A and B are shown apart, each in its own frame.
Chain A
């Protein structure tokens, strides 16, 4: 398996299948772990960091966590590859631009990604399409067990698994669901969701996590409390309460748009299709914004001639690094925007 194989398709989590997939794009669970006896990364000397990276890589590969695991040494990887991994949600932006020994281990279907030497020594994540938190937990728990039989994780009887930042201490668990909420955005009710999330101590972030804008009406909602509740408790809250509630709001808003503002809804959807099929220069933000409306139109049965999978793939393949990787050359400015518009027109079969 090579990194360039990834540019041809979307990962499993973006396949648009799974429960509640009309609104829930993906479910993600991550665990933060540190190896006992090594300082946390902000205080880790360069040789220790190197030794740690090697040791973690060997432990991960020996654990045979997936049929074929690809380990990418990020200190050696070109910038474009690192950006590609960020766009695919396989590594974080901070890890992409960090310095020193670091890496990521991936399963071929991209459901598993284990970051090495990020903020914590290990940041493991499992991603699934739709609302599949129990399945994701089962997988990541097995990964954790397997690594734990090979490594000594820093653990405190009172604080639980120890992390560099005390906000992740305890379970080291972060559950997040990526939601597509275009109707709540159009009806202006999204603010209510934000307020409710805040009251429930949940964080709302954009498509690419911390500090990113909510482009294309995608929102990541995640827990902030990792101590004092069991893993199952945190997951159950998401699975039975939080996610279904927000999905219900969004479906309600979609129904309202359909019944009371049909022309306005159709206008949005078909304007977006018109632009995507005819534009000659497109920025990635504009594509996300327009695809979001097309996706809404398909999910509501307003658009029949575009496949949902095409739209899901375009969300990813029109991003800057993907575009350049596919064309196998560096593209900037208008050349990049033109290449993006060309690619969109080819995929949507018009213009």
Chain B
């Protein structure tokens, strides 16, 4: 079969359905590219293929989160300054942090030793910490945007939660 366009041997066969009608196209590679019948991709160089292959097997294809939803820090920012932005970073960047932590601590990955005694270290307290952090961030945004009405509301909410924290101590 030859290309409908230029009569070279057709290598691309496209079937499209338009308004329930089946249309078949037979084109050579160049014409298919020009007419946009298929997304043309240049030949992938062998080294790129290899890199992708290696990366896939090294486990690097897991995308890191774009930024922390609580403090806003990106992984790149952390790598640049060496300091994390909030406690939540240890959760969302756990996968990326683990090898760094291991290197810094003679291969260790788990804490051994003292832990907080108080009730406040349970699940409920952790949830409350996350809420508090979010409220504080919202408050900062409101103050920046001069939205004092909402800022006052958030401040009260924070105060209330903090008091709860104190009474459980």
Contacts and interface: CB of A to CB of B under 8 A. Distances in A.
Interface of A: 34, 36-40, 42-43, 45, 47-48, 119, 141, 144-145, 148-150, 152-162, 164-167, 169-171, 173, 201, 224-233
B85 A42 contact: yes
B117 A148 contact: yes
Interchain residue pairs A-B with the least CB separation, the first 5 = A228-B108, A160-B111, A37-B132, A43-B85, A154-B87
A138 to B, nearest CB: 13
Interface string B69-108: 0111100000001111111001100000100110011111
B112 interface: yes
Contacts of B82: 165
A332 to B, nearest CB: 35
B114 interface: yes
Most A Cβ at <10 Å: residue of B91, B106, B114, B126: B114
Given A43-B73, A45-B140, 13 more contacts: A36-B87, A36-B126, A37-B128, A40-B85, A43-B71, A149-B118, A158-B111, A166-B101, A167-B104, A169-B105, A201-B106, A225-B104, A225-B108
Nearest to B97: A166
B86 A40 contact: yes
Contact of B113 (A37, A40, A160, A201): A160
Contacts of A144: 114
Interface in B102-159: 104-118, 120-121, 125-126, 128-129, 132-133, 136-137, 139-140, 143
A39 B116 contact: no
Majority secondary structure, B binding face: loop
Given A37-B132, A148-B118, A156-B90, A164 B84 contact: yes
Given A34-B87, A48-B136, A170 B113 contact: yes
B83 A149 contact: no
A165 B100 CA distance: 11
Interface residues of B, number: 46
8 contacts: A40-B83, A152-B120, A152-B165, A158-B111, A160-B113, A161-B111, A165-B82, A228-B106
Given A148-B116, A165-B82, A39 B136 contact: yes
Contacts of A201: 106
B129 A159 contact: no
Contact of B81 (A34, A42, A231): A42
Nearest to A160: B111
B113 A145 contact: no
Contacts, number: 145
A34 B133 CA distance: 13
Contacts of B129: 36-37, 152, 154
A11 B151 CA distance: 46
B61 interface: no
A159 B113 CA distance: 11
Contacts of A141: 114
Given A148-B118, A169-B101, A170-B108, A36 B113 contact: no
Contacts of A159: 90, 101, 111
A169 B73 CA distance: 18
Contacts of B83: 40, 42, 119, 164-165
B66 interface: no
Interface of B: 70-73, 81-87, 90-91, 97, 100-101, 104-118, 120-121, 125-126, 128-129, 132-133, 136-137, 139-140, 143, 165, 169
A152 B73 CA distance: 23
Contacts of A158: 109-111
B116 A224 contact: no
B136 A171 contact: no
Contacts of A47: 139-140, 143
Contacts of B118: 148-149, 152
Most A Cβ at <10 Å: residue of B86, B100, B110: B86
Nearest to A170: B111
Contacts of A231: 113-114
Contacts of A150: 169
Contact of A166 (B100, B140, B165): B100
Contacts of A225: 104-106, 108
Contacts of B113: 160, 170-171, 173, 229-233
B116 A162 contact: no
A208 to B, nearest CB: 21
B64 to A, nearest CB: 15
A119 to B, nearest CB: 7
Contacts of B72: 43
Given A37-B129, A149-B118, A227 B108 contact: yes
Contacts of B169: 149-150, 152
A36 B125 contact: yes
